[in-house]
Amino acid sequence: MRSAHRRHGIGARVPRREDARHLSGNGSFLADLRLPGLREVAFLRSEVPHGRLSAVRPPADAEPGSVWTATELAPLAQPLTATSTLDGFREAPLPNLAMDKVRYVGEPIALAIAPSRAEAEDLVAGIAVDIEPLTAVVDFSDALEAKALVHEDWPDNVFATTGGAVGDVDAAARAAAVSITREYTMHRQAVVPLEPRGVAAHYDRSADQLTVWSSTQTPHMIRDMIALQLGIEGRRVRVIAPDMGGGFGAKCSVYPEEITLAAIAMRCEYPIRWIEDRWEGMVASTQARDHHYRITAHAAADGELLGVDAEILVNSGAYSVHPWTATMDATMSSAMIPGPYRLADYRFRTRSLASNKTPSGPYRGVARPGACFAIERTIDDLAHELGIEPKDMRLRNMVAPAQMPYRSVAGKVYDSGDYAEAVRRVAELIGHEQWRERQLAIPRAARHRIGIGYGSFTEQTAHGCIEWASRGLAITIGTESARLAMDSTGTFTLAVGIKSHGQSSETTLAQVVSEVFDVDVERVTVVHGDTDRTPRGDGTFASRSMVMAGGATFGAARRLADKVLEIGSVLLGEPAGELELRDGAVHGRTNSIGFARLAKEFLFTPDHVPGVAPGLEVTHYYRPEVQTGAFTYATHAVVVDVDLDTGDVRLLDYGIVEDCGTVVNPQVVDGQIIGGIAQGIGTALLEELEYDPEGQPKSTSFLDYLLPGACEVPEIKIGHLETPSPNTVFGMKGAGEGGAIAPPAAIGNAITDALRETGASISETPMTPRRVWASMQAAAEPRTVGVAG
Amino acid sequence: MKPAEFAYHRPDSVEEALGLLGELEEAKVLGGGQSLLPILNMRLAAPAHLIDITGIRALRRFEEDDSGVRYGAVTTHMMIEDGLVPDPARGLLPHAAAGIGYRAVRNRGTIAGSLAHSDSSAEWPTVLSALDAAVHVRSNRGDRRIPVRELLLGFFTTALAEDELITAVEVPRLREGTRWGMVKMARKPGEFAESLAITLVRPGETEIWLGAARDVPVRLAETETVLAGSIGPIALEQLAEAIGADTGSSGYERQRHAVAVRRALETARGETVRGAEVHV
Amino acid sequence: MSEITVELTVNRRARTATVPARTTLADLLRDSFGLTGTHLGCEQGVCGACTVLLDELPVRACLTLAASCQGSEVVTIEGLDGPDAERIRAAFSREGALQCGFCTPGMVLSCYELARRRQVLTRDEACMAMSGNICRCTGYNGIIRAVRSAIAEGIESES
Ligand SMILES: Cc1cc2nc3c(=O)[nH]c(=O)nc-3n(C[C@H](O)[C@H](O)[C@H](O)COP(=O)(O)OP(=O)(O)OC[C@H]3O[C@@H](n4cnc5c(N)ncnc54)[C@H](O)[C@@H]3O)c2cc1C
Ligand code: FES
Ligand code: FES
């Protein structure tokens, strides 16, 4: 790993500056805000998956203005419509409050305002609704067969179909020694940031300013959309995102609650606030995954992957969320199926389906965990058919360093790295050979088995506008901002448009400033999450913050450094080119001047610094020149123990070797990786938002939606490769999501490896003991399982 | 979510509590609150009155004699886990207590509350059925003693009348020469059981109880007969079949119960078994 | 509305509040006393973010009525001090045991009870002992290292 050339600069293991306030209970989350006169909001939400809403009647004794329905709200705010440039895309406006139909359990119908949350809930309990239930569209086949129409004016339940073909898959099939077809399902998940969402809003009449506090990853975007949906000028709206207890994608879309509270607050004398409770978090925050794959893959006898055919279904729920749209998963997934492999012949079709489930939105890894599961399980099964060690099958097919930049068959430009090296290194890290020996040494009569599994991927991070445009988004995201100011005491305030909520940006971005100025990170305040105090930026998602905001910060710091050197040159009487920024001061050959004195001289008495333009502040916008992104990649390796009697799976060892380019702070990167892996383990083994056939979500509390706890996450072994991206400042690549992508693939492969002799094949997540056991049972009964090759 | 409104009462004595229970409509006893509070928070129940019995000192006492131990109703899982009260079952009670939920839940949850809640996937209903414990119940109308096996009538349903309070739980001493095995199968630590098997093995007799299979814990009579008739260990399939006959369960559930029972048997017999300790 | 008056000690300070009977300890601390370090992640007893010490024992503040705490002593993250607490805080920061910080107060309080017992825990035991606190960010590796090292340092400090 690159050694830090600055004490607190890039690569330094700087302790997190966020820790102190959280360890003492002084964080300030949305529910902690104290606003004078604040009243609390509770929502009435649909408990019917699909139905015609004919009446909403507030309790007779409700005070005027304390209960709001769609009728009162309609004149104040427009429903959000996520648009897309994809061919044939069908829009599904997302109502702020349901008007004449409800389309999922959890959909907001009305809200009540009271001095306390408990009283607001009392009011909600008194609201009467008439809903005539309709047939619900729940699973893939309901949606495809159009058992009912989620949106009556559509001919079917398809948001959009996409497809494409490169090369000649049929020719590949003819040339292949082996062809297999497999089906996979990644079931629906909740995202579950530990802090639920929340919104507060207050209209200040004297300042004519609407302030909205929201637990959101994208404050500037929320501000734009509030202004647009309310039909007011953007200058009148300020959005603040306070401390946030995680987001992972669930706090990344524009929500009806944000629009609704903002609209109503403009009619209220007092601030109002809604804090999502856990049930609401499970049903009314965007959900994720719910993918089905049918993959046909062809390989030559030597293991070369010749062609892949992918049929992808995504159950996207009832509406399309802004700005991602209901096709976000499908379009990402089809692009990620080719993985880190050289593949010439590829054909795909995706269909994004509407159903009476909660709208889908982003969740860490966006679609890649599903795509990775599908392709990586297939690679292992191909390897098995060919009698090749699965990890060697990967080595055989991976894009080589010499081929970089490599344009994948799906049109992605892989920028740099040695994919195969990650496989070799992780195999060493877990002790592949020793595990194989232990695996073989287990007596046949024993009632458990060991298996080894790998999962490899390459992941586009920090992409620019063209990438979002290629997926049909109406908002193409590709710039990030930073404003850096040196004040009269020589300390720094950095304001960025992203929103740190666990990513440690208050530390890492200060490190970027420190890299340029060589100051302690304690001398740099990082402001984020407030549209009034920060320059416009897009937000924190898609593993983009460090690269994009880091790029902007670096640009701002470099430009401010030039200014500081210029001032130093005048004050020290030495040429700027011979000065150096070191240890909080400008150093010349003989003299030096500390930042504090320099700033004071320049700001208090500019006449002492003739010839230098005023201002000690720089705003910089960063847009990567190459917009195709920086590709982070990794291989995960896992060893499992499977109980043949119960289907229980234990993780015996877990390793990852990854390359996220230049590492800014090793502790932060490792934290992102392990946190992501834990979520991936949740996807692989535990988490499932089950719906019954009538469309009722079943696992909507923490009592039945199982999250990984300390016992479910083994000690993770991490190895780093560090290939700087040619496309980004410092060569950084995004590190936020990769951990979550490969665990289902690696674990699925390991379980299948453990159970090879039984013929069981793992094709669904989560791989619960029930499913693992059932797959063994099914394999034991001939002709009931396995789509043959 | 927040609970609906209720009136709160905190009696100092059992008599006062019984008075309140007798006279108030729609009243509920509040023990440790570890089952009731989630239900109130989610507004799945909205009693008009809560009678908090945790302030009654008399309900914290325990009495021990030759026949067993009598625990006051508000004895917490933690007190049993940590051995702050005697254990007449040679380790079974602390072992069971330690597996209930999480430490913070065990610090408040009570033994009587767990029985009154009657969830067959919880520890105490099955363990105390197997041990043939009994509850002491009082109301203004009089006192009675109800064996746990008769107290539990179904999911969240017991033989308690609305005005009755469990004041104590009486656990008999585990008979000399009896070895126990207990296996809780749950998806994660702290989760309620997917299967909960208790085996009591004495010379010439094996008693098996199973929780989480039916709405109340069940004794596996058919399985016991099959076991009694077999020499040496029986195949898992055979065990599963017998358990299916006893419980009506099938498929994966039946399989899981069979594994739990087999492991509990192995534990009780002192045979080594993967992942479980031996208790004598 | 049915109200109760509760007197208790919070972070070593005597406090009295009159609140609706349905108020939980968590809401009492947060709304009446402004101690917002006690977080609510589920109100179902599962996540542990609301963990506080009640008469020295960790409990779920979301599953405890304020009224039931009459005469009790409560310690929240804001009032947790002393050498054990400081060792835990240092270990959490050093080991990367927090990211968003939402689970952190509950984690620290659960860890505090373990540290005070002065009992070495294996990794598996530490995981088990911390299994009642959910963290969605860190993946627990850092938390478990911090817990074990805080325990070890506590034991060392006395020998
Ligand atoms: C996250 C979590 C995990 C859990 N995991 C487990 C687990 O793994 N295993 C397990 O067994 N339990 C588990 N529990 C439940 C816990 O054990 C409860 O403590 C227990 O079930 C109820 O006891 P309580 O004293 O808290 O009763 P309360 O919640 O106060 O009351 C429960 C019911 O019993 C009634 N009641 C209480 N005391 C009396 C009395 N003396 N006389 C008459 N009626 C009375 C109440 O009116 C109420 O109906 C868990 C709870 C939580 C929150
Ligand atoms: S909020 Fe109390 S346990 Fe989750
Ligand atoms: S640090 Fe975010 S939940 Fe633990």
Residue A789 has pLDDT above 80, yes or no: no
pLDDT, one tens digit per residue, over C41-90 is 999 999 999 999 999 999 999 999 999 999 999 999 999 999 999 999 99
Quick one: CA torsion of B110, B116, B121, B124, rounded to 10 degrees?
50
* CATH number of the domain residue C110 falls in: 1.10.150.120
Cα(B34) to centroid of ligand 1, in Å? 5
Cα(B41)–Cα(A153) distance, integer angstroms: 40
Residue A788 has pLDDT above 50, yes or no: no
State the best of C28, C51, C59 to mutate against chain B, taking most chain B CBs within 10 Å: C59
* CATH number of the domain residue B226 falls in: 3.30.390.50
Element (DSSP H or E) covering residue A527: strand A524-528
B44 touches chain A (CB under 8 A): no
* CATH number of the domain residue B121 falls in: 3.30.465.10
Top mutation candidate among C24, C46, C64, C110 for ligand 1, by most atoms within 8 Å of CB = C46
pLDDT, one tens digit per residue, over A415-424 is 999 999 999 9
Determine the distance in angstroms separating the CA of B26 from the nearest CA of chain A, rounded to an integer.
Answer: 18
Report the side by side order of strands in the sheet with C3-10.
C13-20, C3-10, C73-75, C51-54, C57-60
Class of CATH domain A19-27+479-622: alpha beta
Write down the pLDDT at residue A547.
85
Q: How many CA atoms lie within 13 A of A354 on its CB side?
A: 29
Cα(A613)–Cα(A563) distance, integer angstroms: 9
- The domain boundary, picked from C63, C79, C95, lies at C79
Q: Which of these ranges, A539-553, A649-663, B175-189, has the smallest mean pLDDT? A: A539-553
B66 and B144 assigned to the same domain: yes
Element (DSSP H or E) covering residue A643: strand A630-643
- The domain boundary, picked from C56, C79, C102, lies at C79
Range of the domain at B274: 179-279
Residue B217 has pLDDT above 50, yes or no: yes
Mean pLDDT for the stretch of residues B198-213 = 95
CB of C52 sitting under 6 A from ligand 2? no
C50 and C110 assigned to the same domain: no
A193 touches chain C (CB under 8 A): yes
Mean pLDDT for the stretch of residues C139-158 = 97
pLDDT, one tens digit per residue, over A484-512 is 999 999 999 999 999 988 789 999 999 99
Q: Is the ipTM of this structure higher than 0.90?
A: yes
- The domain boundary, picked from B116, B145, B174, lies at B174
- DSSP 3-state of A564: helix
- The domain boundary, picked from B174, B198, B222, lies at B174
Determine the distance in angstroms separating the CA of B105 from the nearest CA of chain C, rounded to an integer.
Answer: 6
- 3-class SS letters over chain B: CCCCCCEEECCCCHHHHHHHHHHCCCEEEECCCCCHHHHHHCCCCCCCEEEECCCCHHHHCEEEECCEEEEECCCEHHHHHCCCCCCCCCCHHHHHHHCCCCHHHHCCCEHHHHHHHCCCCCHHHHHHHHCCCEEEEEECCEEEEEEHHHHEEECCEECCCCCCEEEEEEEECCCCCCEEEEEEECCCCCCCCCEEEEEEEECCEEEEEEECCCCCCEECHHHHHHHHHCCCCCCHHHHHHHHHHHHCCCHHHHHHHHHHHHHHHHHHHCCCECCECCCC
Determine the distance in angstroms separating the CA of B143 from the nearest CA of chain A, rounded to an integer.
Answer: 36
The count of structural domains within chain C is: 2
Cα(C50) to centroid of ligand 2, in Å? 5
B4 and B101 assigned to the same domain: yes
Cα(A239) to centroid of ligand 2, in Å? 28
Cα(A736)–Cα(C137) distance, integer angstroms: 11
Q: Which residues line ligand 1 (CB under 6 A)?
A: B 28-36, 38, 53, 73, 100-101, 105, 109-110, 112-114, 116-117, 122-124, 160, 165-166, 190, 192; C 45-46, 63
**Contact call for residues A112 and A353 (beta carbons, < 8 A):** no
**Contact call for residues A449 and A759 (beta carbons, < 8 A):** no
**The two three-digit tokens of residue A350, written as one number:** 């995706």
pLDDT, one tens digit per residue, over B29-52 is 999 999 999 999 999 999 999 999
Residue A633 confidence class, pLDDT cut points 50, 70, 90: very high
Of A478, A502, A415, the closest CA to residue A676 belongs to A502
Write down the pLDDT at residue B273.
37
Cα(C35)–Cα(A619) distance, integer angstroms: 38
Element (DSSP H or E) covering residue A164: strand A158-166
Determine the distance in angstroms separating the CA of B189 from the nearest CA of chain C, rounded to an integer.
Answer: 7
Cα(B199)–Cα(A673) distance, integer angstroms: 44
Mean pLDDT for the stretch of residues B239-265 = 97
Of B176, B177, B213, B215, the closest CA to residue B198 belongs to B213
Instruction: Pinpoint the alpha helices (H) of A712-756.
Output: 738-741, 743-754
Class of CATH domain A359-465+631-780: alpha beta
pLDDT, one tens digit per residue, over B51-65 is 999 999 999 999 999
Cα(A75) to centroid of ligand 3, in Å? 40
* Ligand 2 atom closest to Cα of residue C40: 1
Write down the pLDDT at residue A541.
77
Percent of chain B with pLDDT over 70: 96
| Ligand closest in space to the Cα of C135 | 3
B11 and B134 assigned to the same domain: yes
Cα(A680) to centroid of ligand 2, in Å? 23
| Ligand closest in space to the Cα of C52 | 2
Q: How many CA atoms lie within 13 A of A86 on its CB side?
A: 27
* CATH number of the domain residue C44 falls in: 3.10.20.30
Residue A433 has pLDDT above 60, yes or no: yes
Which of A116, A711, A774 lies nearest to residue B188, judging by beta carbons?
A711
**The two three-digit tokens of residue A396, written as one number:** 């055989």
C73 and C88 assigned to the same domain: no
**Residues in chain B closer than 8 A to A770 (CB atoms):** 252
Ligand 3, atom 3, lies closest to the CA of C135
Determine the distance in angstroms separating the CA of C29 from the nearest CA of chain A, rounded to an integer.
Answer: 11
Cα(B184)–Cα(B213) distance, integer angstroms: 12
DSSP code per residue over A260-286: HHHHHHTT-SS-EEEE--HHHHHHHS-
Q: Which of these ranges, A337-351, A541-555, B135-149, has the smallest mean pLDDT? A: A541-555
Write down the pLDDT at residue A302.
97
Chains B & C: contacts with CB separation below 8 Å: 96
**Residues in chain C closer than 8 A to A245 (CB atoms):** 39, 41, 100-103
Ligand 3, atom 4, lies closest to the CA of C135
C31 and C74 assigned to the same domain: yes
Ligand 1, atom 37, lies closest to the CA of B113
Element (DSSP H or E) covering residue A674: helix A666-681
User: Cβ of B108 and C48 within 8 Å?
Assistant: no
A15 touches chain C (CB under 8 A): yes
B197 and B152 assigned to the same domain: no
B223 and B113 assigned to the same domain: no
B38 and B169 assigned to the same domain: yes
Question: Residue B194: how many CB atoms within 10 A of its CB?
Answer: 21
Percent of chain B with pLDDT over 90: 92
Percent of chain A with pLDDT over 90: 90
Write down the pLDDT at residue A430.
98
Write down the pLDDT at residue B233.
79
User: Cβ of C63 and B37 within 8 Å?
Assistant: yes
Cα(A92)–Cα(A79) distance, integer angstroms: 10
Mean pLDDT for the stretch of residues B56-84 = 97
B48 touches chain A (CB under 8 A): no
**Residues in chain C closer than 8 A to B188 (CB atoms):** 131
Write down the pLDDT at residue A783.
54
Q: Please tell me what DSSP assigns to residue A323.
A: T
- The domain boundary, picked from C79, C102, C136, lies at C79
Collect all residues with Cβ–Cβ distance below 8 Å to A781 and sequence separation of at least 6.
none
CB of C30 sitting under 6 A from ligand 2? no
Residue A3 has pLDDT above 50, yes or no: no
Ligand 1, atom 11, lies closest to the CA of B122
Per-residue CA distances from C41 to A275, C49, C147 (Å): 11, 6, 21
- Tell me where in chain A the CATH 3.30.365.10 domain(s) lie: 19-27+479-622, 359-465+631-780
Which A residues in the span 500-519 are in contact with C, Cβ-Cβ below 8 Å?
Answer: 501-504
- DSSP 3-state of A131: strand
- Tell me where in chain A the CATH 3.90.1170.50 domain(s) lie: 33-134+194-246+251-283
pLDDT, one tens digit per residue, over A237-254 is 999 999 999 999 999 999
Cα(A394)–Cα(C43) distance, integer angstroms: 46
| Ligand closest in space to the Cα of B101 | 1
Range of the domain at C100: 83-158
Q: Which of these ranges, A5-19, A333-347, A648-662, B250-264, has the smallest mean pLDDT? A: A5-19
Q: Which of these ranges, A330-334, A497-501, B150-154, B243-247, has the smallest mean pLDDT? A: A497-501
Cα(B104) to centroid of ligand 1, in Å? 13
B69 and B198 assigned to the same domain: no
Write down the pLDDT at residue B271.
57
Cα(C136) to centroid of ligand 3, in Å? 5
CB of C103 sitting under 6 A from ligand 3? yes
C72 and C103 assigned to the same domain: no
Residue A213 has pLDDT above 90, yes or no: yes
Pairing type for strands A524-528 and A237-240 reads unpaired
- The domain boundary, picked from B174, B190, B205, lies at B174
Write down the pLDDT at residue B278.
36
pLDDT, one tens digit per residue, over A759-774 is 999 999 999 999 999 9
Mean pLDDT for the stretch of residues C132-142 = 98
In this complex, the chains that touch C, judged by 3 or more CB pairs closer than 8 A, are A, B
Write down the pLDDT at residue A351.
98
Angular region, A64: left φ>0, alpha ψ -120 to 50, beta rest: beta
**Contact call for residues B261 and B197 (beta carbons, < 8 A):** yes
Write down the pLDDT at residue A628.
85
Residue B10 has pLDDT above 80, yes or no: yes
User: Cβ of A502 and C78 within 8 Å?
Assistant: no
**Contact call for residues A350 and A164 (beta carbons, < 8 A):** no
The count of structural domains within chain B is: 2
C47 and C72 assigned to the same domain: yes
| Mean per-residue pLDDT of chain A | 95
User: Cβ of A24 and C43 within 8 Å?
Assistant: no
pLDDT, one tens digit per residue, over A250-272 is 999 999 999 999 999 999 999 99
User: Cβ of B8 and C45 within 8 Å?
Assistant: no
Mean pLDDT for the stretch of residues A339-350 = 97
Residue C97 has pLDDT above 80, yes or no: yes
Q: What is the CA radius of gyration of chain C?
A: 16
Q: What are phi and psi of A362, to 5 degrees?
A: -70, 145
Cα(A393)–Cα(A403) distance, integer angstroms: 18
Mean pLDDT for the stretch of residues A316-338 = 95
Write down the pLDDT at residue A33.
97
Top mutation candidate among B52, B79, B100, B139 for ligand 1, by most atoms within 8 Å of CB = B100
The CATH architecture of the domain made up of A33-134+194-246+251-283 is Alpha-Beta Complex (3.90)
Sign of the CA dihedral A575, A580, A583, A588?
Answer: negative
Cα(A65) to centroid of ligand 2, in Å? 32
B32 and B167 assigned to the same domain: yes
A125 touches chain C (CB under 8 A): no
**Residues in chain C closer than 8 A to A702 (CB atoms):** 42, 44, 46-47, 134
B275 and B166 assigned to the same domain: no
Write down the pLDDT at residue B279.
36
Cα(A497)–Cα(A483) distance, integer angstroms: 9
Per-residue CA distances from A759 to A643, A749, C45 (Å): 15, 13, 41
| Mean per-residue pLDDT of chain B | 94
Collect all residues with Cβ–Cβ distance below 8 Å to A661 and sequence separation of at least 6.
A416, A630, A632, A722, A723, A724, A725, A728, A730, A731, A732, A733
